[in-house]
Structure 1
Amino acid sequence: MNSPRLPPAILIMGPTASGKTAAAMALTERFPVELISVDSAQVFRDMDVGTAKPDKATLARYPHRLIDIISPEESYSTARFRQDALAAMAEITAAGKVPVLVGGTMLYFRSLLQGLAELPQADAALRAGIDAEAAKHGWPAIHAKLAVLDPSTAGRLHPGDSQRLQRALEVCLLSGRPMSELLAESEQQKPPYDFLQIALLPSERAVLHKRIERRFDEMLLAGLDEEVHQLRQKYQLSLELPSMRCVGYRQAWEVQDGLLPARELRERGIFATRQLAKRQITWLGNSFAAEGFDCLDPALSERIAARVGAFLRL
């Protein structure tokens, strides 16, 4: 006898400027779905221009959950996102619809799919000690030490992978438990959904870069600098807050404080956005079992709709 199918959920992931929002909104025209934003910048109220947040008319027609939910003075953790997203998914599923989670914050997606391992925070003194031991005896010796404490993790790490070896040994020494054991516990947090993972990836990176340039130019014309000025007037902000570390906002702030020449705002903003896109693409390649779609394909929305229809058996 076949087990009953888990309720479906759809993830639309991709780098900045890959057309994720447009693809998700197109699904709402054809399927019984509701949208959940997976964007660590769009959670902030009054940050509209620099986050490429859909405008009010668009959001009225295509509502997104988890947009405009906190002040720029606040922080929004990965754990809170996971809690909020699962609650929203449960409500959507209970209403007989399918949750579509769309965005580019890959850490949020990973936490949703894989759970959150409760690993100890980094300890600078302990790391320095591990580094000193490695400098004296070599990283293979650290690997051998880890193999005694956590053979499972050591078995999947190369003896020369210093960064991961350092972290794995640090976790063992701080927690008194193997990191593999802690990660296995997070596996038990996987939500009870049948996920369709869709990744929007560019067939030509240069074309995505042109999109990024065009979009950043549009943000500048739409008043990104003025938006940052107004935010600073309205809220108690600093460059250390997550909201002001967002791409575009940091650069505009630095221009306003004379830390960056105004003529460099465009160049620095575009460069930072390209670096963000690069990291997002790397995440997609390394951390997800997603089905890839060319985000530059003119028929992208139709191809995604066909795949979603097959997934939902509609």
Structure 2
Amino acid sequence: MSVATSDIETISPGSGFEPVKDAVLIAGPTASGKSALALAIAIQTGAEVINTDSMQVYDVLRVLTARPSPAEEAQRPHHLYGHVPPSAGYSTGQWLRDIAHLLANSEGSGRRFVFVGGTGLYFRALTGGLSAMPPVPTEMRERWRARLSDEGSTALHALLAEKDPEAASRIGSADGQRIVRALEVLEATGEPIGHWQKKRGPSLVDPATARRLVIAPDRSLLRARIDTRFDGMVGAGAIDEVKALVRLGLDPALPCMKAIGVPELASYLRGELALDDALEQAKAATRQYAKRQETWFRHQLGPDWRRIDAADRIDPSVFG
């Protein structure tokens, strides 16, 4: 493959880019066992594991976001886990640029890759390309995020409705991150975000040769796994992770501060909730999130994705 730069926004189908062939893609709701399956396939095939989950990019929350353990990472190379500070936002476009850089550096090495995670938009971008969004100056981005914190999403949505009615009609008034994104792109380029969303880039993974799995476990089994896993997270240090995160004094609107378990355990640390109540609320939030993931996968991942009801039903040797 040939990628001239790590900035995916400069890649076009005519630039000599060749998508990665024979990639394995594993999607699934939280606690479905997909990370263990990915590692098993990577060990069997000599592949490397690439994070495809928007929360596992943050460096503070290894336990609470169920990132692979150091022992698991030592068995096969893992990429794009814990490389983003919690003080930063991280978009699908940024993730795709990181992927482009990683894949460009793998040219000629014969490396194989397993992409695993629960963020549907990442998978869509891998195989279907992503809108060629322009870069936004850091100062401008920070200024809009400060306004979001000071004025709230409803006020900025009203502003967006004046400046870009089409985008405002597609974005809910409570979706502060998307509202700010539309406003900053408009200011930076003079063009509405819809203009850029129509300019799609290339696929980084060849959809014709990719093997795609989506894990769709039994709902009652998944609920039990979620509850058991969260209890295990607490025993493994999740509360200490949240304590360290809270000490940073970050903007509560940042994605990392909204990770499931962070608001609930932070409330416990402030003395606002008993521990049992915080745990139950976090488990309930995890179950709700898993349900949203399942709905998205069901409606957005087509028939070229193989549905399996449990990760351990797949024999990793078939990928060798």
TM-score, scaled relative to structure 2: 0.71
State the match for 1:199 in structure 2. 214
Pick from 76, 92, 96 the counterpart of residue 78 of structure 1: 92
**Quick one: distance in 1 between partners of 2:90 and 2:52?**
12
Deviations along 1:135-187, one digit per CA (max 9) or x if unpaired, are xxxxxxxxxxx9xxxxxxxxxxxxxxx869x99xxx9xx888895x755521x
Check 1:92–1:288 CA distance in 2 against 1; reply closer, same or farther (3 A cut). farther
State the match for 1:265 in structure 2. 278
**Quick one: distance in 2 between partners of 1:47 and 1:277?**
19
Q: Report the 3-state secondary structure (helix = DSSP H, G, I; strand = E; otherwise coil) of the residue aligned with 2:115.
A: strand
Letter in 2 for 1:212: I
Pick from 239, 245, 248 the counterpart of residue 258 of structure 2: 245
* 1:41/1:51 contact within 8 Å kept: yes
**Quick one: distance in 2 between partners of 1:129 and 1:88?**
37
Deviations along 1:178-214, one digit per CA (max 9) or x if unpaired, are 95x755521x432362422211111x21111111111
Matched, 1:38 2:52: yes
Q: Report the 3-state secondary structure (helix = DSSP H, G, I; strand = E; otherwise coil) of the residue aligned with 2:243.
A: helix
Check 1:116–1:130 CA distance in 2 against 1; reply closer, same or farther (3 A cut). closer
Matched, 1:25 2:39: yes
**Quick one: distance in 1 between partners of 2:107 and 2:227?**
38
State the match for 1:288 in structure 2. 301
Give the 5 Å matches for 1:222-233: 222-233=236-247
Check 1:129–1:236 CA distance in 2 against 1; reply closer, same or farther (3 A cut). closer
State the match for 2:5 in structure 1. none
**Quick one: distance in 1 between partners of 2:59 and 2:22?**
30
Check 1:178–1:230 CA distance in 2 against 1; reply closer, same or farther (3 A cut). closer
State the match for 1:65 in structure 2. 79
Pick from 124, 142, 155 the counterpart of residue 158 of structure 2: 124
Identity among equivalent pairs (%): 33
**Quick one: distance in 1 between partners of 2:122 and 2:106?**
19
**Quick one: distance in 2 between partners of 1:285 and 1:65?**
27
Letter in 2 for 1:7: K
TM-score, scaled relative to structure 1: 0.72
* 1:248/1:269 contact within 8 Å kept: yes
Unaligned runs of 5+ in 2: 1-17, 135-143, 145-155
**Quick one: distance in 2 between partners of 1:112 and 1:19?**
22
Pick from 263, 288, 292 the counterpart of residue 279 of structure 1: 292
* 1:73/1:236 contact within 8 Å kept: no
Q: Report the 3-state secondary structure (helix = DSSP H, G, I; strand = E; otherwise coil) of the residue aligned with 2:294.
A: helix
Matched, 1:7 2:21: yes
Task: Report how many aligned residue pairs link the two structures.
Answer: 265
* Range moving further from structure 2, 275-284 or 224-233: 224-233
Q: Report the 3-state secondary structure (helix = DSSP H, G, I; strand = E; otherwise coil) of the residue aligned with 2:116.
A: strand
How much does 1:129 deviate?
11
* 1:14/1:201 contact within 8 Å kept: yes
State the match for 1:114 in structure 2. 128
Q: Report the 3-state secondary structure (helix = DSSP H, G, I; strand = E; otherwise coil) of the residue aligned with 1:29.
A: helix
**Quick one: distance in 2 between partners of 1:228 and 1:176?**
40
How much does 1:90 deviate?
3.3
* 2:47/2:114 contact within 8 Å kept: yes
**Quick one: distance in 2 between partners of 1:51 and 1:94?**
33
Check 1:241–1:297 CA distance in 2 against 1; reply closer, same or farther (3 A cut). closer
State the match for 2:104 in structure 1. 90
* 1:49/1:219 contact within 8 Å kept: yes
Letter in 2 for 1:89: L
